[in-house]
Amino acid sequence: MIIGEQKPIDEIRKSIAPYKRVLVAGCGTCVAVCLSGGEKEVGILSSMLRIADKIDGIEREIREQTITRQCEYEFLEQLRDNVQSVDAVLSLACGVGVQDVAAMYPDVPVLPGLNTTFMGRPLEQGLWTEECAGCGNCVLAETGGICPIARCAKNLLNGPCGGSHDGKCEISDDQPCAWALIYEKLSKTGRLSLMEEIKPGKDWSTASAPRRMVREDLRI
């Protein structure tokens, strides 16, 4: 899923400062799971903004609405009534959601309330880790289901560097060496010979921006 974290409250307040009516729009999918942009977070942030405005003597209307996803137009239609009656939208979605809201409602400023960080999964309560870089050329079949592009600090495709020690990356004792994990996984599944194959340098053209995918079999 896409992981995001809420921007500092001072940065958010500065971005909405010119506007008297603001819609705080939540997204009920990825950023709701990582507890940064769902209905609960919309309510908390809206309350914080109202309290801060009251302390500073600022008259501003803060509205709240959370939809299933901000990255699909059929859900964005649900925002229409609120968007058409406010001066700005503060989107608690990933960067894709922010841009889609802005594209669908071009006459209203749409401001990001989150910083989009990476694609990952939860390891435990309050801890998420990056596991996919979306590089466009997946090598997980050869690396035991562990991505060296996202999980190795140096994006190495042919084994560990000289800095790993006791299964840890040299950048931090809290960071497992991705290639130590790959070795363990391939060893357990009887595929250690895959590490003997020298992989060519990565073709980064598959990750050049902006990317686009077309499925002709699905187009109407």
Per the domain annotation, does 172 fall within a domain?
Answer: yes
pLDDT value for 1: 86
Per the domain annotation, does 70 fall within a domain?
Answer: yes
How confident is the model over 204-213, as pLDDT tens digits? 777 776 767 7
Per the domain annotation, does 220 fall within a domain?
Answer: no
Min mean pLDDT across 91-100, 106-115, 121-130, 178-187 is at: 121-130
How confident is the model over 6-63, as pLDDT tens digits? 999 999 999 999 999 999 999 999 999 999 999 999 999 999 999 999 999 999 999 9
Range of the domain at 143: 133-200
Strand order of the sheet with strand 88-92? 61-67, 21-27, 88-92, 110-112
Q: Do both 110 and 7 map to the same domain?
A: yes
Per the domain annotation, does 152 fall within a domain?
Answer: yes
Q: Do both 85 and 140 map to the same domain?
A: no
When pLDDT is cut at 50, 70 and 90, the band that residue 76 belongs to is very high
Per the domain annotation, does 52 fall within a domain?
Answer: yes
Task: Name the strand (E) or helix (H) holding 10.
Answer: helix 9-16
pTM: 0.83
When pLDDT is cut at 50, 70 and 90, the band that residue 220 belongs to is confident
